Structure 1
Amino acid sequence: MIRVVLADDEAVVRMGVGAVLSTADDVEIVAEADTGRAAVDLVLAHRPDVAVLDIRMPVLDGLDAAAEIRRLGTGTGVLVLTTFADDAHISRALASGISGFVLKTGDPLDIVVGVRAVAAGAAHLSPPVAKRVIDHLSGSGPRLRTTDRVTGLTAREREVLGLVGAGMSNAEIARHVHVVEGTVKVHVSTILRRLDVRNRVQAAVVAHEAGLVPPAHRLL
């Protein structure tokens, strides 16, 4: 069972997201909050698998809450609920250690998919949000070209990076490339270090930009 803490300051939205998650027989909401601070406290109290956080909340917003959850080392993955109006927060979001973005106004079932992916240790980017993230980073000023960034990776590392971009967990990648999960963990750690990115979400964005993601999962 995937245990979830859900936080959104709008009661109607929180109820709606809770109703969607309740349709999944492998997801259990263990606590709800209406501020980021309360969400952090509940994560400490319940140690859930996933925290689903609205990006905009009082007292402590979703991104600051995500960063604090990461610093506390709870092992809880963070899935952020966002809107297209939140583009200004993209850079902060990528730096805060979140595991995924889900669009509030998108397909409700994508929230369930996102929770399952994050619980499995994968990165999850709703396609419209991922496209927005990529567009944002593409226009964020001078930086090393993506093709140059991935040149230093081995063929196997590029393959693994593409599967990270497809939203696969380490276990799924291991089955796909026919190696043990421990080997995939080593590859992912090496990829993050060589790309100089903080987490799988940032690595997934690089994978999409570089065209390494399998065709069925591509956004560009």
Structure 2
Amino acid sequence: MPPIRVLLADDHPVVRRGLAALLGTLDDFEVVAEAEDGEAAVRECQLTRPDVVLMDVRMPGIDGVEATRRIRKAVPDAAVLMLTMYDEDATVFTAMQAGARGYLLKGAEQDEIADAIRAVVRGQAIFGAAIASRMLEHFASPPGQAAADDPFPELTAREKEILELLAHGRRTAEIASALHLSPKTVSNNLTAIFAKLEVTDRTAAVIRARERGLGG
């Protein structure tokens, strides 16, 4: 069997060198390219057509989640495996929605990383043990359990209105029109909402909102 061709995407050179050295000790892997940000990851993936992309979540420019989304459209045969230090549920769900096939935390043992790469090449979905446990708990919870009379007490009344419309799939311009606001005002409120909910983008905010009963 030919070696599994791997692209390493991480903004820290030391991490990339460490991963390259780790995979270099194994006969069934070949590192074909490296990328220091999301845009470079998409570009190198199109050029080298790897079997697997080991992708960090937070990088300069477009982040790993958006890079994953673009790679899945441009090079659908490439499997993306997130390897990051961030284990927030919203980030995990957003990455999987973008098309990632697995999610591991940095610090995973060599055998775990190697086995995960082989697994995603076979089409399996792979998660680190702690993340897998939390995901099982999430999907085992009764629908709407997280909802309460006021599921987001940290938000202002206006922010709750905007989040409700966001959860219904409305775009920024549509929210602005519905609430008689400017798109800039809506964007500013969305930034505040993301910060208060500790999510990175609107997709993660929608997931959080629907978990708590909005947008139904």
State which of 41, 53, 56 in structure 2 corresponds to 1:51. Answer: 53
TM score, norm. by length of structure 1: 0.59
Q: Match for residue 90 of structure 1? A: 92
Contact 2:87 2:105 in 1 (8 A): no
Partner of 1:26: 28
In the TM superposition, what is the alpha-carbon distance from 1:59 to its structure 2 partner?
A: 0.8
SS at match of 1:59: coil
Q: CA deviation at 1:15?
A: 1.5
Give the TM-score normalised by the residue count of structure 2: 0.60
Match of residue 107 from structure 1 = 109
3-state DSSP class of the match of 1:58? Answer: coil
> What value does the CA root-mean-square deviation take over the aligned residues?
2.1
Structure 2: gaps of 5 or more residues: 146-216
TM-fit CA distance, 1:11: 1.3
Alignment of 1:6-155 (within 5 A): 6-137=8-139, 142=144
| Paired residue secondary structure (1:25) | coil
TM-superposed CA distance for 1:140, in Å, is: 9.8
Do the aligned residues in 2 keep the contact of 1:67 with 1:96 (CA within 8 Å)?
yes
Identical counterparts, % of pairs: 41
Task: Name the amino acid aligned to 1:50.
Answer: V
Point out the structure with max Rg over C-alpha: 2
Alpha-carbon spacing, 1:40–1:132, altered in 2? closer, same or farther (3 Å)? same
CA distance in 2, matches of 1:3, 1:140: 41
- Report what 1:192 is aligned to: none
- Are the equivalent residues in 1 in contact too, given 2:5–2:30 (CA < 8 A)? yes
Cα displacement (A) at 1:73: 3.9
Partner of 1:3: 5
Q: Does the Cα contact within 8 Å between 2:49 and 2:75 map onto a contact in 1?
A: no
Contact preservation (8 Å) 2:87, 2:131: no
Contact 1:47 1:74 in 2 (8 A): no
The 1:54–1:136 alpha-carbon spacing in structure 2 relative to 1, beyond 3 Å, is farther
Contact 2:46 2:75 in 1 (8 A): no
Quote the offset at 1:78 in angstroms.
Answer: 0.4
Map 1:123-202; keep pairs closer than 5 Å: 123-137=125-139, 142=144
Closer/same/farther in 2, CA of residues 73 and 142 from structure 1, 3 Å limit:
farther
Q: Residues 50, 134 of structure 1: CA spacing in aligned structure 2 closer, same or farther, 3 A cutoff? A: same
Contact 1:84/1:129, CA 8 A, preserved across alignment: no
Q: Does the 8 Å contact 2:41/2:67 carry over to 1?
A: yes
Q: Give SS of 1:131's match.
A: helix
Indicate conservation of the 8 Å contact 2:45/2:75, yes or no: no
Q: CA deviation at 1:14?
A: 1.5
Shift of 1:83: 2.5
Structure 1 gap segments, 5+ residues each:
144-220
Structure 1 consecutive aligned stretches of length 4 or more whose deviation exceeds 6 Å: none
- The total of aligned residue pairs comes to 143
